[in-house]
Structure 1
Amino acid sequence: MIDEKALFKLSYGLYIAGVEWGGKKNACIINTAAQATAEPNQMLVTMLKSNYTTELIQKKGSFTVSVLSLATPLSRVADFGFRSGRECEKFEGIAHGVDGQGNPYLAEDMAARMSVSISQTVDLGTHLLFIGPVTEAEELSAQRPMTYADYRVLKAGGKVGAPEEKAEKKEAKYVCSVCHYVYDGEIPFEELPDDYVCPICKRPKSVFVKE
């Protein structure tokens, strides 16, 4: 059995993978990038096969990873996440730098940036897993990196770090497991006498379940 909700407990960040190939600069939003080893420094990044950026990275053999920070405007996610580089120039009008291999990266409102050379590619069906050494790395700000959970909060108009509103305390309901009568008396169910019976089916207190 696989409970999909269990997988939702895994945390994800938000990153921009960038590449230049044949004079074309392109990039896209990704959420799976991690340091694989520290000695030597290696990263692993998973990308959707159908992405144009993925296609160019396969040809180039290297790419950049820009780490979004909480200062990143949501419009930047739209710039690189909701448009295809096959139909537009994603970097047009957007300030960016270029690493030693000619691949573009974003510096403004980013927490950090890395450059990766691909040493292994693993086919995962719908995605490709790129593994390789980190050739460049630079911290760009002290801002906390933006997680995917942060993005969802910000997109909904919320504020990251704001205390959560406490939900109203709901009293537990006790339901008869035989006829589904819901106890709604003024006396708390736990304080009812042991000889209490369901007013509908006349079954004892012991058949009631807490919801």
Structure 2
Amino acid sequence: MIYYKKNYTPEEFKELIEHKLTNIVPQIKSDDGKAAIQSYVNSLEIVCKDQLGLKLLYLFKQYDLSNFALLRTVGDIADTFYDKNLESIKEFMVIVQVNADMFLKLGQIIQVPNIKNKPETYALMLQYIALKNRYAKSFGQFQSLLGLLKDWEKFYNPLIAIRQEYPPEEFKQPLIFNEEIPGLAIYNKYESYIN
């Protein structure tokens, strides 16, 4: 059994898990049992990559291991909103009110302050999770676009410098100097996000 304390660092916790694993695995006879333990350890390592994950693990452990199902339930509820209107808080409020006991229990575990322990808080949490789930792929693609625009900027700046150094009033320019720079409109649209 792993004993949780509030002040483990993620590295200390990972070492503790690995130590326990090396002690327990030789005692397990079946391959299924070994696979289950390894899966459990992998899940713990994912959850405990940072201090927040460790704190949540500690809080859930403090209240009861069965409460881990609350997180899955909240995640499942958030997933039901995938094809619904996420801008309005009304639908989230209805779900929170229907599952009020569950959300109040979750609020105790994650230590929601009393002043914030109300349906609106949980509705906003659900809305955030649903928005994050819906737009996770799009956000990754947007980040890729910004990376491409950052690379594109390296070629754009010298081009502008050349055009400014040789203005049409003083120099005969090739026709290509009069053409619009490809991608400039997209760059201008997202320039504020690049930096």
- The bucket for the TM-score relative to the shorter chain is under 0.3
- TM-score, normalised via structure 1 length: 0.22
The structure whose residues are more often strand, as a share, is 1
Q: More helix per residue: 1 or 2?
A: 2
TM-score (norm: length of structure 2): 0.23
